Structure 1
């Protein structure tokens, strides 16, 4: 469907629709979003999610907490992740989802969703494994720079065999040219003075002129909901925080050696 045809159907000008679709509109009208979802045959979940995002876009706050505005089965972060050029993460408690083995992911999915059927758990695991293609694909894989707290290596998930296999997977992934993996050891203390929760900075690359294709976003996952920070100063603070924990971490070779050592301990 061409832009003029779509614009005619929602009774708007072509230039107005083009600005909306390219993110240059000064104002997003809920009516336009609803009508576009209708003519593009979006399902109920997609429509509800986009309506929620449109409502949130009008809020001039430094953070976005989508909560009940977005359906639970519509994951905003996955859309950002799929478009990422680089992901910069700090994970204190568990292995990053993009690096999890099926067995490790299954244990976490079952703990988090105790009422799910086995088939539903399998779907959750398969979805996580599909996401991992972002860093393993042959054509332009995304860059991953992750710091794991030593806790993630030693916290037992599933059992010794599951952990051993998971750590071997980590060690192997750390040899990929697009993956940088460091471990922040317990001996490093708390580099920033305060404990730091998990976060991921999503960068989308730059155009020919060196300008970002899209502004970077910090994703903060919590037990009650997800938050997205977009202001430049907030993003820079998290880049600085990541650099601080990165500098306090073991280098890549020492990190890989520690991961393999702990893997052997699980099966000794």
Structure 2
């Protein structure tokens, strides 16, 4: 047994993500915790704590051994080992660059485990609610992507949408869109019209609440701000969160940012609530989606 307990404060995000990844891979191969632990010379209790993100100093050799037992691809094994290294750092900066270019991404793992996503978008529409044509138009705009890259990313994006549409415990979404995102033509007017009609239909689902922030709402709190996503997780029978909430800020061409401090979570939760209150109601927002879709359709003729 080589992995050891944490001896000081650290960010929980890398180790939570590492634990989630290892647990998913173990379950996919059909091993119990006891069986997997025995194969890599760990105790059942230690492996369980690794999977729940409770151990800071997860040893690289343990991650390597577990990935070999689970038959993990070389690229994803390297990423898991990188997470183990980051999980040991006490001063992790909550920032990731382009390390997660495959299906094993930091945010996708969080999204899949979430019970609620509270989002705000002003440039484009959220990936979980995009049509394939809209997604393709966005992804193809990146000059570095080959045709196969585009296809792979669209496939991943559409697979991610299962968290919204699944029958068992679909993720709850509180979606805020700035009205400018509805007029920004991504792909073509035809694609935009279909996308907005899709949004209108999706907003009727019981697990989705969608509101549009009009131009007349001005600047909430008098401040300019960009898109963000608050990721919340289930609670235990005692009412405690299974995992602490996270704020995700997509970096685009820069670095993605993950905020974990309670003050940051509270600030963005209050900001989301303020934008929500300054936005159109849900029925009015749905009607506006359909109205702008008709405008796009007329412009296409």
| TM-score, structure 1 normalization | 0.91
Kept after mapping to 2: 8 A contact 1:56/1:64? no
Structure 2 counterparts to residues 38-187 of structure 1, below 5 A:
38-61=68-91, 63-67=93-97, 70-73=99-102, 74-113=104-143, 115-117=145-147, 119-187=148-216
SS at the partner of 2:119?
A: strand
1:103-143: CA deviation from partner (whole Å, max 9, x where unpaired): 111111110245412x4423322221221121112222111
Q: Please give the alpha-carbon distance, in whole angstroms, between the structure 2 residues aligned to 1:28 and 1:11.
A: 14
Counterpart Cα distance in 2 of 1:131 and 1:60: 31
Contact 2:56–2:87 (CA under 8 A) maintained in structure 1: no
CA RMSD of aligned residues (A): 1.9
Q: CA offsets, 1:132-167, max 9 Å, x none?
A: 121112222111101001111011111111111111
Asked if 1:249 corresponds to 2:274, the answer is: no
Runs of 4+ in 1 over 6 A off after TM superposition: none
1:133–1:17 CA distance, 2 compared to 1 (3 A):
closer
Shift of 1:180: 0.5
- What secondary structure is seen at the aligned counterpart in 2 of 1:228? strand
Q: Distance in 2 between matches of 1:205 and 1:83?
A: 9
Aligned residues: 266
- From the superposition, tell whether residues 15 and 183 of structure 1 become closer, same or farther in structure 2 (CA, over 3 Å): same
Is it true that 1:206 corresponds to 2:235 in the alignment? yes
Alpha-carbon distance in structure 2 between the residues aligned to 1:138 and 1:13: 36
Listed as ranges, the gaps of 5+ residues in structure 2 are 1-30
Would the aligned equivalents of 1:48 and 1:71 in 2 still touch at CA under 8 Å? no
Measured after TM superposition, the shift of residue 191 of structure 1 is 0.6
Structure 1, unaligned runs of 5 or more: none
The residue number in structure 1 matching 2:265 is: 235
In structure 2, the CA distance between the partners of 1:48 and 1:26, relative to structure 1 (3 Å rule), is closer
Cα offset for 1:63? Answer: 4.1
In structure 2, the CA distance between the partners of 1:170 and 1:55, relative to structure 1 (3 Å rule), is same
> Does the 8 Å CA contact 2:100/2:106 hold for their aligned counterparts?
no
Give the 3 Å change call, closer, same or farther, for CA 138–8 of structure 1 in structure 2. Answer: closer
156 and 181 in structure 1: CA distance in 2 versus 1, 3 angstrom threshold: same
Q: With the length of structure 2 as denominator, give the TM-score of the two structures.
A: 0.82
